[in-house]
Amino acid sequence: MCGITGIYNVDNPLKVSEKTLIKMRDTLIHRGPDDEGIYISKDKKVGFGFRRLSIIDLSKAGNQPMTNEDKTIWLVFNGEIYNFQEIKKDLEKKGHKFHSKTDSEVVIHLYEEKGEECLKDLNGMFAFAIWDEKKKKLFAARDRLGIKPFYYYYKDGIFLFASEIKAILEHPEVKREPDKEGIFHYLTFACTPAPFTLFKNIKKLTPAHYLTLDANGNLQTNRYWSPIQNIQQYTEQDYINKTKELLKDSIEKQMVSDVPFGCFLSGGIDSSTNAVLMSQAMGKPVETFSISFKDLPKYDEFQYSRKIADTLGSKCYETVIGQKEFMEWLPKLAYQADDPNGDPVCFPVYYLSKLIRDSKVIMAQVGEGADELFCGYGTYMEFIRIYTKYWKYLEKLPKFIKKIPYFFLNLILPKNKLTLHKEFFRRLAYNKPFFFGGANAFSAYDKQFLMSDSYKKEIPFDASDNLIKSIYNELKVTNYKLQDFVQKMLYLELSIRLPELLLMRVDKMASAHSIEARVPFLDHRLVELAFSIPMHLKTKNKKTKYILKKAVEGIIPDKIINRKKQGFGAPTSEWMRKESPISNDLLNIIRNSKIKELNIFDYDYIEKLIFDHQNNLDDNSFKLWNLITLSLWYDKWIC
């Protein structure tokens, strides 16, 4: 993990300022405390900045910006390429000379050899930018699953990019303005779907996309990969065997490192599998890191993580956190996340990352992605049940009949009652997709009452419907034949929730402590295999993660495989209840935020949400937490 940033003054007379470039670069020191570097082209139209976290080849030869032999190709690179050794051997046979042992130098020479097609050869997590002096072209890319972030700004002939938005904001030409459409989508998805951010004129590159910017100012973005492009059909046993084989290979490949590494361990299937297979590949126990909450047994998984650590003989590091740590961390959240993240799990991930760094470990593997690939949540199973038993029949009814339940519920029930049911019937009435993602804060139905009248005139309350529709439409233009409900559902998860919520909570909170987190379940080969598994096998016998559980039999204990899922959570719901001593402090963040000056919310409706939650009349914690994180963001970055 590193921090990258850059400037390209395409058709603007401004020259790259070294002082500005350094200011941009050094906002990212937490992403790269080990070294630094800058490159400014001779004509001062292009500048790259780099902060390094040394993982592979710790010598100065690994520092960036990095160039080729004749200094016509310049690179800044964040991430890891796990198959770089194989690629390097092929390139050496073709005459390429290397001066370091890094994966980043391999990207330079692979680009020389294949141009933009180089992306198809890379197995890894990455965000990078290349300046091609001969072609006078900038080429930048984000990895297939969006594990690493890439933000950019392009206005008045000035193109800026960075690993985090805070670097872009250091440029004097950038104004800090809220993007109201970005805010709207954030309120739905608890994150901003690419290409949106909450900042006007600042975008993020969509996962599996690259961009090019030429000397005439033409900016283009293109997709280079899809999880459904290599669909293969196998027998059940073949799926099990191939899952096991690819998982072992991915975990082993992602252990390449010249610094100490370990494993996040919750005691669930995913992290336990990581820990066991890492230990087998090393030939000795991997160090493990676990976290729990004070006086909240509901969230305690130590009994399971300790079982795995004891079985392996691992050195096990543990930490326990509570309200004190939460309130100490909360003021830091907006700065650390900068494009806000509405997942309260950011809190334990932050302290887990701190534990890892304090233990002098620099890299750790995590289990993100397994639930989204193999259908691991109970909520997914409920969606499947409702879809197969009711929805697929109801959606075929005539339009006027489909509208009856929605209008009937609105007529007889108060606006704040059965809102989820009303939202589903709204989707039925207006031919909207049944599944909108696994982590929605405010539905379109809710937004009718959350949004002020003036905001609704700017952005329709159902504007996120079109965004969801555009993602589902991507499936229609492919030759993908399976397209059962589960595949469609998980395709949406890989488009929004996984990259912009789950992976960004890991990236931002881990980088706050200068550690790198790797995600072996998101090897693109394993992702393609998982998308080949049809619904009847993925959820066989009404079991979550059926294929994955069969694949890890004999690797981890049966008690871990068969235990009831306990999601990695945070007790924000409990801490917002009336009996909690920090409840009012948390909820006053919403009440006192200067975001009121945008006039986008109906605060009477918000007060009703607060009252119902504090008094145990409803669980509005996810809605309220997203209003808290949005308020913190606005007060930090806009005011």
User: CA-to-CA distance for 452 and 80, rounded, in angstroms?
Assistant: 45
CB 613 within 8 A of CB 152: no
Strand segments (E) across 143-199: 151-155, 158-162
- 319: amino acid identity, one letter: T
Of the listed 2, 316, 346, 375, which one is catalytic?
Answer: 2
User: CA-to-CA distance for 544 and 277, rounded, in angstroms?
Assistant: 22
- Closest Cα to residue 98, out of 113, 88, 86? 88
* Residue whose entry in the numeric block shows the structure tokens 């949400």: 609
User: CA-to-CA distance for 520 and 526, rounded, in angstroms?
Assistant: 9
* Residue whose entry in the numeric block shows the structure tokens 């939202």: 423
User: CA-to-CA distance for 83 and 487, rounded, in angstroms?
Assistant: 28
CA distances from 81 to 35, 88, 422 (A): 20, 11, 46
The first and second tokens of residue 533, run together, are: 């598994």
Helix (H) or strand (E) holding 264: strand 261-264
User: CA-to-CA distance for 359 and 521, rounded, in angstroms?
Assistant: 25
User: CA-to-CA distance for 49 and 5, rounded, in angstroms?
Assistant: 5
- Closest Cα to residue 158, out of 173, 178, 146? 173
Angle (nearest 5°) at CA 440 between 434 and 442? 105
User: CA-to-CA distance for 598 and 284, rounded, in angstroms?
Assistant: 57
- Closest Cα to residue 76, out of 117, 108, 101, 44? 108
Q: Does residue 375 carry a catalytic annotation?
A: no
* Residue whose entry in the numeric block shows the structure tokens 């589902």: 472
Angle (nearest 5°) at CA 227 between 224 and 228? 105
CB 2 within 8 A of CB 107: no
DSSP 423-468: HHHHHHHTT--S---S--SS-HHHHHHHB-HHHHHHS-TTTHHHHH
Query: Radius of gyration of the chain from Cα atoms?
Result: 24
207 cis-preceded (ω within 30 degrees of 0): no
- Closest Cα to residue 455, out of 224, 178, 256, 244? 178
User: CA-to-CA distance for 211 and 82, rounded, in angstroms?
Assistant: 23
User: CA-to-CA distance for 527 and 491, rounded, in angstroms?
Assistant: 11
Give me the active site residues, please. Answer: 2
